[in-house]
Amino acid sequence: MKFRTVTLEQHDSDVARIARELRDRKSTRPLSLRKKVTSHQVPKPGDKKYSDDKIDVSCLNRILLIDVEGCTCTAEPGVTFIDLVHATLPSGLVPMVVPEFKTITIGGAVSGCSIESMSFRYGGFHDSCIEYDVITSAGEVLVCTPDNDLSLVYHSLHGSFGTHGILSKLKFKLVPAKPIVRIVYERHTDVESYRASINAHAEKRDVDFMDGIIHSPDLYVLSLGHFVDSAPYTHTYNWVTAYHETTALRSEDYLRTTDYFFRYDRGVTNVYPKSKLGRLFIGPFMGSSNLLSIAEKIHWALPKKNPMVTVDLFIPISRFHDFMNWYWKEFGAHNLWCVPYRPAQRYAWLSDQFYSGVQDDMFVDLAIYGFHPHDGRNYYRMIEEKLREINGVKTLISYNYYSEEEFWQVFHRENHFAAKAITDPRNAFRDLYTKTCVASQGRTSTM
């Protein structure tokens, strides 16, 4: 069974309008997108994007086709995961990977590096995508697949942070789902036992979901989920109690599937307000999108020095122990979110030099959310230096302090600029280093 949720004529008309505006554009100023939902990149006070020229893509937020028999969905990039799950779950299907926040968009999940607790099976959301439509900065519409003559563009869109034109349509795979998720919590007292259990479950594929919260040097909790048809009870975590807190206390839990996917929407390990009394009164109004929207509106007032650390780190699982020893010493007692992650392929945006030092096919995404620097040190820079030592990589969603030379030792310069010559010959959207390491900090040159 296939069913359309909107007519394609409106989609085609909107794409034609955006392409025409790009073709007719005379300005050489940098260009950013005006979207309907708040970006899930970390707001930064001097980010040049706030003063860029804007092109309105807020209309591209519709699900176009759900193919139930073929287990695929075709949608525009501004579709949020909460709307996507609500549309597909009644047919017993969900995306292969559903990021943790309700208002992350499918386009944002591709341009960034969105993963979640099915990533030990399927990789990232981008690994489920089989076709992209891209509007170039010159106003041309390209159809990109893994094996057509635009395969480099297809593979380069993941992790590009909007530097390769405008995604206008995505086709991606869906997987069968049930209405309830049962979670069982394993507790480990050291990182070696934790790592061994991650590897064992990934090898046996005996669970549908796997993530965890690292509470302290002697409490590593692994959350193992299974789709089930029914439950003796169900919980939601959208008010007083934060989900991550319960992982240290419960032996099992049941959540409706949608509630499971967005169990962290109030924040992963950085839920606000901190007190339960404060959550009682204003908790429902302090979801991730609310906080990000507020921060975007007052970006100019955010601290320029010692910013709060919010970043995801991809650590080869064989170096997990090395990183955790360093982390407890330098960061102290600050909870981490742990997501086992097996990339489905070798990514075109990571350099040959980076891959030459990686022997593992499994990584752990360790998310440091809401750490407040306390001693004047640059913790983002400390992380970058540690990752170079252990062949890890971090997302570029927040503050980045790489030199240009260091950056292109990790990220693939040749592939990036080869794809960009096709998708953004005018350099309207900046290159990846300039956008994430220079302009984001309010600078105009690489210096």
Mean pLDDT by 10 residues, the chain (447 residues): 71 97 95 83 80 94 96 97 97 97 96 95 97 98 97 96 97 98 98 98 97 98 98 94 96 98 93 79 70 58 77 97 97 96 94 94 96 92 97 94 97 98 96 94 68
Contacts of 274 (CB under 8 A, 6+ apart): none
Confidence (pLDDT) at 323: 98
Confidence (pLDDT) at 45: 80
Q: Which helix (H) or strand (E) holds 53?
A: strand 53-56
> How far is 304 from 92, CA to CA, in rounded Å?
47
CATH for 2-176 is 3.30.465.10
Confidence (pLDDT) at 248: 97
Backbone angles phi, psi at 188, to 5 degrees: -130, 150
- Structure pTM? 0.94
Confidence (pLDDT) at 354: 96
440 DSSP 8-state letter: G
Per-residue CA distances from 71 to 1, 13, 276 (Å): 10, 27, 42
Alpha-carbon radius of gyration of the chain = 21
Q: How far is CA 16 from the centre of its chain?
A: 29
b (16+ CB within 10 A) / e for 284-303: eebbbbbbbeebeeeeeebe
Per-residue CA distances from 28 to 52, 230, 435, 436 (Å): 11, 57, 16, 19
Confidence (pLDDT) at 413: 98
Confidence (pLDDT) at 203: 97
* Bridging pattern class, strands 31-34 and 93-95: unpaired
Q: Are 412 and 351 in contact (CB under 8 A)?
A: yes
Q: Is 329 left (phi over 0), alpha (psi -120 to 50) or beta?
A: alpha
Domain ranges of the chain: 2-176
Confidence (pLDDT) at 47: 82
For residue 46, give the 3-state DSSP assignment: coil
